[in-house]
Amino acid sequence: MFNFEKLEVWHKAIDFADFVSFNVYLHREEPFRSYISHLHNLSEDKPLILTEFGIDSIREGNEFQADTLAWQVKAGFEMGLAGEVIFAWTDEWYRGGFEIDDWDFGITTRDRSSKPALFAVSTAFDEVPFPPTVDWPRKKSSWPSHQAATTSQFARKRSVNSARGAQSPR
């Protein structure tokens, strides 16, 4: 993870990237939203993805973990994130071949039983990026399909004519 100073230097080198991603561990909503805004500014016109965020339920408790992850998922999409990845699926994880047993970031326990965070996160993702109450337009356009058919017919004619040594249609 970058600190603020390194972020300011790093952002000058993102021209080659298709999207920008960061790990963010902030558990209060105002600083979280503020930092997401800051990351949007740094990422300029690139899609922004949170590639890792989570909360330790040993230190913060299961209910706080569930509540925090739920508002983080919703806030992230409200603020225009292109995607979010929660750390972690399970409390069981290893580093350097050793089990980490003094952190519980998972939304399931070590034996894969559900924690309150699993339901909270599932519900939050069901509601984003668009809530189920959105009244979507019912009219569909056939133009893209028609255009695609015309384009593929042209490509086939060109291909066949090229194979015969003839001029491509203009």
Tell me what pLDDT residue 54 has.
96
113-124 tens-digit pLDDT: 999 999 999 999
Mean pLDDT of all residues in 86-93: 94
- Is 68 domain-assigned? yes
The CATH number of the domain where 55 resides is what? 3.20.20.80
Q: What is the mean pLDDT of the chain?
A: 81
| In the predicted structure, residue 72 carries a pLDDT above the cut 60 | yes
pLDDT in tens, 4-52: 455 556 656 667 778 888 999 999 999 999 999 999 988 888 899 999 9
pLDDT at 135: 74
Whether 161 is covered by a domain: the verdict is no
Q: Given this model, what pLDDT does residue 161 score?
A: 47
First-to-last C-alpha distance (Å) of the chain: 54
Query: Quick one: pLDDT band at residue 65, thresholds 50, 70, 90?
Result: very high
Tally of structural domains, the chain: 1
Domain for residue 153, yes or no?
A: no
Which pLDDT value is given to residue 141? 52
Which tokens sit at 57? 């339920």
Q: How many helices (H) and strands (E) does the chain have?
A: 6, 5
Q: Give CA–CA dist 76/49, Å, rounded.
A: 9
Model confidence at 73: pLDDT above 60: yes
Tell me which residue range forms the domain holding 82: 4-127
Asked whether residue 158 is assigned to any structural domain, the reply reads no
Instruction: With a cut of 50, say whether residue 3 has pLDDT above it.
Output: no
pLDDT (average), residues 121-140:
77
Assign 3-class secondary structure to 60-74.
HCHHHHHHHHHHHHH
The answer as to whether 27 is a domain residue is yes
Q: What is the pLDDT of residue 102?
A: 95
Calpha distance 152→150 (Å, rounded): 6
pTM confidence score: 0.71
